[in-house]
Structure 1
Amino acid sequence: MSFKILALTKYGSLGGSSRYRFYQYLPYLKSQDFDITLAPLLDNQYVTGINKGSRNFTNVLMSYFQRLMRLISDRDYDLLWIEKELLPYVPAWLERMLIRNIPYAVDYDDAQFHIYDYYGTKLTKIFLAHKIDRVMAHAQLVIAGNKYIATRASKAGAKSIEIIPTVIDLDRYSIKTDGRNRAFNIGWIGSPGTSIYLRSIQSVFETLDRQQNCNFTFVGAGSLTLGNLDLTIKDWREQSEVADIKSFDVGIMPLDSTPWEEGKCGIKLIQYMACALPVVGTPIGVNQEIIAHGVNGFQASTLSEWTDYLSKLANDPRLCVQMGAAGRAMVEDKYCLQVTAPQVAQLLSGCI
């Protein structure tokens, strides 16, 4: 029996959340007789634009119109598989009218509810603070990227909740094997919007720049500058991201401490670990689960800890190899598509 699913992603394939939570699952799901139609709200052109610091609001309005028309006219599906919400800043009651009698599963890789109840304007908080709770409550299934999101879904009264972490495809990630015969390369991968977290440990980089033989390579950081530090900034490209990560000697994930960060899924750490790199990250949210302190990396809470742990790794290549191997093993066991794809297939089929 073929299941007909309309996957309503937020972005095209260049959007990280859509790529990891939806697009990479398609080959496996299709092999299991799922008939899936993709319908992103915002296309790759939009994603490219926001990564360059520009937004075309005319295109956004057109995207909203196209999604509305699709939901009104095209209803021959067994299930809607929705990323976060149908239409940002549109009330939940209107979304339910558009869905009508089609069951839906909704997927979250971040704390989307905080866009409305924590960061929103006064007006947004009045009208939309509980929007995501209502979306969750009426879903056949809520797929949560971590416990923080799952807890919110439970409080919202969701019928069924499953935690599926954001993962990588092992077939794309090979292990870093070249030895170190150059400066210790501290690496980060992300987007211009998340590169702000690097500023929080700028003083750590400056100290390491003075005391250690270090390079700093940031992939996808846009036009980021950090004082007078000599940074290597590379554009993110799907075709080269694994090779870029393998040029690192350690992967880092600094975070701020706000409710938004509590809901993040830690994909950067998983990418680094998939390449057998040690990791250092702020122990916020799921980072505390992914980083086994002293085993596959270090949890750094203070600036002095960041400096100490990165210095330790810079001075001990053998420890880097040991921690990298432990990280790769964890990814193979828990944080890869090869483990989660059958789980997602079973969850979606259970909604129909």
Structure 2
Amino acid sequence: MQYLPYLEQSGFEVRYQALLGQDYVANLATGRGYSRSAIARAYFERMALLARAPDADLIWIYAEAFPYLPASFERLAFRSGKPVVVDFDDAFFHNYDSSPRPLVRALLAGKLQPLLAGAAAACCGNEYLERYAKRFCRRTMLLPTVVDTQLYRPGSNGRGGDEVVVGWIGSPSTWSYMRPLLSVLQSLRAELPVRFRVVGAGTQAKADAFPGLDFVTWSEATEVADVQAMDIGIMPLPDEEWARGKSGYKLIQYMACGLPVVASPVGVNSTIVTDGTDGFLVTDPDAWRSALKRLIVDAALRRQFGRAARARIEADYSLQVHAPRLVGLLQSLAQPAEAARSR
């Protein structure tokens, strides 16, 4: 969505349809359930849209058109005969080929392969995803997750109190990555003037609460301010298939706001963070504790790392840098289709 202004400035008219709406996102952020009838209705609406063969020069699909339905439904995207671009920033294919449910693996393991094989191009959030896409798609582009650095920027206030704020932002589905670290955080809280700010973990995560651990409800309207209220950002990850396909959005948010970071060296995290320059890459609990303590007690080091982190995102993970690349790709695909339609 953040690319839309750039696309429109470049002459694209963009019409979009989310499969599920903002109320679904709100429920996801809090861990609440969602109406199955509303989901079924959304699927039927998308089927009807694609079956009508939309009058467009290009169809751009994020991840997949019909989660957990067979590949035959994905082929509806090609009904119009126009180029299709697939864009994904998580290892969605592992939802199927690595599912713990045998029936899902048996029926859907190769679900995304026909979509990628028929696509004119695939935009991939990191090298792990691009390696997968290249097996099926004839044209790929590494398009990292980015933020608008005019929006995500170091805060002018909200930090610098008596306690250092170590923060995490995510969703209920990723809170499990934080649980192995909680004993480390508690020990730091007992020793140092530090608080922990958790954004978007959902109501169930409050069972893990301890003094000094503050839970904040995620909101799109306050997301940037919530990150700016932190002094250090953290991103623990297990070394697992799904985690290796993640695109480091948390790190990019933190670093764009001028925060030093501590992260697991899993997947793209090792590319985003330059260890010892803008953050620390750590593995075991002792290393996590040592890295966090070093940043908590040393305000000058936090500032030094924070400046380097901000520069890193401006140079390599900003909307301003990558929007022209995406525009160029879509123009190269849409123009032949537009010319054919005008003949």
TM over 0.5: yes
Q: Distance in 2 between matches of 1:331 and 1:98?
A: 34
Please name the residue that 2:21 is paired with: 43
Match of 1:326 in 2: 308
- 118-127 or 164-173: bigger deviation: 118-127
Matched residue, 1:89 = 68
Question: Quick one: which of 299, 305, 309 aligns to 2:287?
Answer: 305
* Aligned position for 1:11: none
Structure possessing the higher relative contact order (Cα contacts under 8 Å, 6 or more residues apart): 2
Amino acid at match of 1:29: L
Amino acid corresponding to residue 306 of structure 1 in structure 2: W
Aligned equivalent of 2:337: none
Give the superposition deviation at 1:184. 1.2
* TM-aligned CA deviation for residue 180 of structure 1: 2.9
- Structure 2 residue 88 is matched with structure 1 residue 108: yes
Amino acid of the residue matched to residue 19 of structure 2?
Answer: L
Residue 33 of structure 1 is matched in structure 2 by 11
Cα shift at 1:44: 0.8
TM-superposed deviation, 1:41: 0.6
Paired position in structure 1 for 2:274: 292
Measured after TM superposition, the shift of residue 258 of structure 1 is 0.9
> Aligned runs of 1:124-135 on 2, under 5 Å?
124-135=104-115
SS of residue paired to 1:37: coil
Q: CA deviation at 1:259?
A: 0.1
Which whole-Å CA distance do the structure 1 matches of 2:68 and 2:153 have between them? Answer: 40
- 8 Å contact kept, 1:104–1:140: yes
**Deviations for 1:40-82, whole angstroms, at most 9, x for unmatched residues?**
1111111212323212110000000000111112521111100
Kept in 2, the 8 Å contact 1:180–1:317? The answer is no
Structure 1 match to 2:234: 252
Please list, as runs of the form range in 1=range in 2, the aligned pairs for 1:22-171 lying within 5 A after superposition.
Answer: 23-52=1-30, 53-97=32-76, 99-100=78-79, 101-155=81-135, 157-171=136-150
SS in 2 for 1:344: helix
2: CA distance, partners of 1:227 / 1:191:
16
1:230 matched to 2:208? The reply is no
- State how far apart, in whole Å, the 2-side matches of 1:135 and 1:200 are: 37
In structure 1, the residue corresponding to 2:13 is in which secondary structure? strand
Partner of 1:173: 152
Deviation at 1:123, TM superposition (A): 1.4
CA distance in 2: counterparts of 1:119 and 1:340, whole angstroms:
33
| Secondary structure in structure 1 of the residue aligned to 2:68 | coil
Specify the alignment match of 2:263 in structure 1: 281
State the superposition RMSD in angstroms.
Answer: 1.4
The residue type equivalent to 1:209 in the other structure is R
Aligned length: 329
Report if the CA contact (8 A) 2:166-2:231 is conserved.
yes
Q: What amino acid does structure 2 have at the position aligned with 1:32? A: S
SS in 1 for 2:123: strand
Give the drift of 1:228.
3.1
Q: Structure 2: how far apart are the matches of 1:346 and 1:37?
A: 19
Q: Distance in 2 between matches of 1:120 and 1:302?
A: 27
Q: CA deviation at 1:176?
A: 3.6
5+ residue gaps, structure 1, are 1-22
Quote the Cα distance in structure 2 between the aligned partners of 1:87 and 1:120: 20
CA distance in structure 2 between the aligned counterparts of 1:177 and 1:309, rounded to whole angstroms: 26
Q: Partners in 2 of 1:296 and 1:26 — Cα distance?
A: 30
CA deviations 1:300-325 (Å, max 9, x no partner) are 10100000000000111000000000
CA shift for structure 1 position 247: 1.4
Unpaired runs of 5+ in structure 2? Answer: 335-343
Task: Report which stretch shifted further, 136-145 or 180-189.
Answer: 180-189
Cα separation, 1, equivalents of 2:210 and 2:153: 34
Equivalent AA in structure 1 for residue 119 of structure 2: A
Partner Cα distance (1:221, 1:256) in 2: 17
Relative to the length of structure 1, the TM-score reads: 0.90
Amino acid at match of 1:128: L
Give secondary structure in 2 for the equivalent of 1:102: coil
TM-score by length of 2: 0.93
Partner Cα distance (2:260, 2:188) in 1: 17
Task: Give 1:37's aligned amino acid.
Answer: R
Q: Which moved more, 1:90-99 or 1:332-341?
A: 90-99
For 1:94 and 1:120, locate their aligned partners in 2 and report how far apart those are by CA, in whole Å: 23
CA shift in 2, pair 1:65/1:120, >3 Å: farther
Contact 2:59 2:77 in 1 (8 A): no
Task: Work out whether residues 61 and 84 of structure 2, in 8 Å CA contact, stay in contact via their aligned partners in 1.
Answer: yes
Structure 2 counterpart of 1:5: none
